[in-house]
Structure formats: structure tokens, C-alpha cells
Amino acid sequence: MIGSEPASLSERLAAEIVRVSDRLRTLSLARLSVPLPPYASRAEAGRALAQRLADAAQGIEGRGSPEPPSWREVPRLGDVAAGDQVAVTGQDLLAALEAADADTEVWTRTGRRLAREVAEDAEAALRDLRLAL
């Protein structure tokens, strides 16, 4: 076997964060501007993913609150920053997950879900974007 896939969900998530952020960082400005439906560009797809990761982290961090958090928006930066935004929000998500039990209910923009489900959805979104790039 040439390599092995990380075993735990956190390890797989961390690996996908690195893969996607590195891929976005290495794309030229011209390639970042290429449409990636339903997004206007690959950079927009990266920004949307960064927001999704940020939302997941914020929802996990606010898990103890009886009310959903006041969702924060990831700043809109230049296209070349998309990879960095995925990396930063991904690391925030990993840190939040480390502090929460996988079976804890956490906030999402659509209500409460288990932290494990939120992490699995983030992993799938990262993988889907990586394959689309």
C-alpha cells in the first residue's frame, strides 16, 4: 500500500483540510476565477466552504447555550486567500471538536445535531470540493 488513510474522523478531517487548502493555495488567480457550479468561481466555492467550517466550529463552541449563536460571517478577502481561509476555519473546527464529545448536540444554522454528524458533513464537503477542483 502506498499510503494509508487516517483512521479517526478527526484525522481524516485534518487531512482533508490540508489537501483542500493546499490545492486552493496552489491555483493561479486565473484558475481560481474559473466557474465551479453552483459557484461563480473556484475561489467562491472555497469561501463558501470556509464559511461552512466556521459555522460548524461556532456551533460546537456554543453547544452549551440554550439559544443558537449569532452567526459570524467569514470576511470576504481576495481570491488568493481562499486556501488560507479554509485552513484557518478548518483548524478552528478541529479545535472545537477536540473540546466536545462526539455525541454532544451542537448548534447548526438549521437547529441542533450531533457533533459527529457535523464533523462528518464537513469532511464530506471538503472531499467534494477537493475532487471538484
- Assess if residue 98 is contained within a domain: yes
**Nearest CA to 60 among 14, 18, 6, 122?**
122
Mean pLDDT of 45-49: 98
- Assess if residue 3 is contained within a domain: no
The grid cell for 107 is 448548534
- Assess if residue 20 is contained within a domain: yes
Predicted confidence at residue 86, as pLDDT, reads 98
**What domain range is 76 assigned to?**
9-132
- Assess if residue 26 is contained within a domain: yes
- Assess if residue 31 is contained within a domain: yes
The number of domains in the chain is 1
Q: Where residue 109 sits, what CATH number does that domain have?
A: 1.20.120.450
The grid cell for 15 is 487531512
Mean pLDDT of 19-26: 98
Contact by Cβ (8 Å): 35, 41 = yes
SS3 89: helix
Residue 111, Ramachandran bin (φ over 0: left; ψ between -120 and 50: alpha; else beta): left
Contact by Cβ (8 Å): 106, 63 = yes
- Assess if residue 106 is contained within a domain: yes
**Residue 57 clears pLDDT 70, i.e. is over it:** yes
The model's confidence at residue 1, banded by pLDDT at 50, 70 and 90, is very low
- Assess if residue 27 is contained within a domain: yes
Sign of the dihedral through C-alpha 69, 67, 95, 51:
negative
**Residue 114 clears pLDDT 80, i.e. is over it:** yes
Contact by Cβ (8 Å): 4, 42 = no
- Assess if residue 1 is contained within a domain: no
pTM for the predicted model, two decimal places: 0.94
